[in-house]
């Protein structure tokens, strides 16, 4: 039937790792399952400047600290992909490696990158979602970043230090990034900002060689030769495991309030996958704490009934 844990956490980002810390400190047995890499999206950020206690820290270091803390407290952490979740007493969690039983389950599955939806996007070398991961491959070359938020500008600034030139493309006239990032980018001689511009096609056979652009204000079409395109056009919730269990909100998020309770007893939603107004590192960690404490309370109630 598979081993039993008081709490199984699905997702190894800030919400999931924080939940593991709180649940272990409460004395509960914890299994944390992550399918790819620990730390979530923030692990690829070159600099985090809005997390309390650190004026600046890399996303990778912050992720490592969270992971090490959860592991040191005794959480069992495994790289396994959850394939299905069956609610019950206990809940059953099936992965690509085995089956686990749990008194409570915390869904902290986070977000996944949104793509541009262009032909060749998943085939051409040179198309990437991670400037920190892949930027070094294009040192001294011309690159582009698609997006207008903080991530896009952070990527452009990071690439500007190693690439010959960086062009930032944004579909709207106004950028969504913090003004301080926009001004820093404007001050870099090797960064060009192109608002009201969308990518309509990717050029190249096996490797990206250029972009076809369209100005949304004038309709003008142009071509931009680049060796790489880094996409930072937003994210979408990773809720495939839970989609069969809940009526997701119109944007695909798990319906749960600030208490992280879902409509199914013993199942909790934490972090960016949850319906909420603000999605930041601090709110993800707060969700992890709230979900863990609620899950611990649920486990205590289970024990009183049995």
Residues 138-168 pLDDT 10s: 999 999 999 999 989 999 999 999 999 999 9
Residue with more model confidence, 306 or 85: 85
Q: Is the pLDDT of residue 114 over 90?
A: no
Q: Is the pLDDT of residue 174 over 80?
A: yes
Of 231, 258, 274, at which residue does a domain stop?
231
Q: Give a yes or no: residue 121 inside a domain.
A: no
Alpha-carbon distance values, 100 to 51, 81, 92, 218 (Å): 34, 12, 6, 57
Q: Which long-range contacts (CB under 8 A, 24 or more apart) does 169-175 make?
A: 169/144, 169/145, 169/194, 169/197, 169/198, 169/199, 169/211, 169/213, 170/146, 170/194, 170/195, 170/196, 170/197, 171/196, 171/197, 171/198, 171/216, 172/148, 172/196, 173/217, 174/148, 175/148, 175/149
Q: Are residues 31 and 162 in the same domain?
A: no
Exposed, middle or buried by CB within 10 Å (0-12, 13-18, 19+), for 98? exposed
Residue 290 C-beta-side C-alpha neighbours within 13 Å: 19
> Can you give the length of the chain in residues?
306
Q: Average pLDDT, stretch 271-276?
A: 93
Q: Are residues 205 and 249 in the same domain?
A: no
Q: Are residues 240 and 227 in the same domain?
A: no
Q: Are residues 223 and 244 in the same domain?
A: no
Q: Alpha helix (H) ranges present in 49-160? A: 59-72, 131-134, 150-160
Residue 299 designated active-site: no
Q: Are residues 27 and 72 in the same domain?
A: yes
Q: Give a yes or no: residue 255 inside a domain.
A: yes
Which residue is it, tokens 């809005």? 50
Pick the catalytic residue: 6, 96, 133, 260?
A: 133
Q: Give a yes or no: residue 12 inside a domain.
A: yes
CATH number, domain of 299, equals 3.50.50.60
**Token duo for residue 95:** 């992965």
Q: Are residues 104 and 22 in the same domain?
A: yes
pLDDT-above-70 percentage for the chain: 100
Q: Are residues 227 and 239 in the same domain?
A: no
**Token duo for residue 266:** 């013993």
Which helix (H) or strand (E) segment is 148 a member of?
none
Using 50, 70 and 90 to split pLDDT, how confident is the model at 118? very high
Using 50, 70 and 90 to split pLDDT, how confident is the model at 16? very high
Pick the catalytic residue: 6, 96, 122, 134?
A: 134
Q: Give a yes or no: residue 146 inside a domain.
A: yes
Residue 163 designated active-site: no
Q: Give a yes or no: residue 140 inside a domain.
A: yes
Q: Are residues 95 and 172 in the same domain?
A: no
**Token duo for residue 217:** 């204000």
Q: Are residues 239 and 109 in the same domain?
A: yes
> Cα–Cα distance between 285 and 65 in angstroms, integer?
13
Q: Give a yes or no: residue 100 inside a domain.
A: yes
Total of domains in the chain = 2
Of 196, 214, 231, at which residue does a domain stop?
231
Of 202, 231, 260, at which residue does a domain stop?
231
Q: Are residues 101 and 135 in the same domain?
A: no
Q: Are residues 108 and 252 in the same domain?
A: yes
pLDDT at 54: 92
pLDDT at 287: 98
Q: Average pLDDT, stretch 223-248?
A: 90
Q: Give a yes or no: residue 152 inside a domain.
A: yes
Domain range for 99: 4-113+235-305
Using 50, 70 and 90 to split pLDDT, how confident is the model at 208? very high
Q: Are residues 134 and 223 in the same domain?
A: yes
Pick the catalytic residue: 64, 130, 142, 178?
A: 130
Q: Which long-range contacts (CB under 8 A, 24 or more apart) does 99-102 make?
A: 99/1, 99/2, 100/2, 100/3, 100/4, 100/5, 100/8, 100/31, 101/1, 101/2, 101/3, 101/4, 101/5, 102/4, 102/5, 102/6, 102/7, 102/8, 102/31
Q: Give a yes or no: residue 118 inside a domain.
A: no
């Amino acid at each position: 039937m598979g081993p039993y844990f008081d709490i199984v956490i699905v997702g190894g980002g800030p919400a999931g790792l924080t939940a593991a810390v709180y649940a272990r400190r409460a004395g509960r047995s914890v299994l944390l399952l992550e399918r790819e890499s620990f730390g979530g999206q923030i692990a690829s950020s070159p600099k985090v400047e809005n997390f309390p206690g650190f004026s600046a820290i890399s996303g990778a270091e912050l992720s490592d600290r969270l992971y090490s803390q959860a592991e040191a407290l005794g959480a069992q952490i495994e790289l396994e992909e959850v394939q299905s979740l069956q609610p019950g007493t206990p809940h059953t969690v099936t992965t690509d490696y085995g089956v686990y039983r749990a008194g409570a389950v915390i869904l902290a599955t986070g977000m996944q990158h949104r793509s541009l939806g262009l032909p060749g996007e998943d085939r051409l070398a040179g198309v990437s979602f991670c400037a920190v991961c892949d930027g070094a491959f294009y040192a001294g070359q011309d690159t582009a970043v698609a997006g207008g938020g903080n991530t896009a500008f952070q990527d452009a600034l990071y690439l500007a230090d190693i690439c010959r030139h960086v062009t930032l493309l944004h579909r709207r006239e106004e950028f969504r990034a913090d003004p301080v990032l926009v001004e820093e980018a404007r001050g870099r001689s090797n960064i060009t900002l192109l608002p009201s511009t969308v990518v309509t096609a990717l050029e190249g056979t096996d490797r990206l060689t250029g972009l076809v652009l369209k100005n949304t204000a004038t309709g003008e079409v142009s071509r931009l030769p680049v060796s790489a395109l880094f996409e930072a056009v937003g994210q979408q919730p990773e809720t495939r495991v839970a989609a069969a269990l809940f009526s997701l909100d119109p944007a695909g998020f798990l319906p749960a309030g600030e208490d992280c309770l879902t409509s199914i007893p013993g199942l909790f939603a934490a972090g960016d996958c949850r319906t909420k107004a603000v999605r930041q590192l601090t709110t993800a960690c707060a969700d992890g704490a709230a979900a863990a404490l609620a899950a611990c309370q649920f486990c205590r109630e289970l024990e009183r009934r049995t």
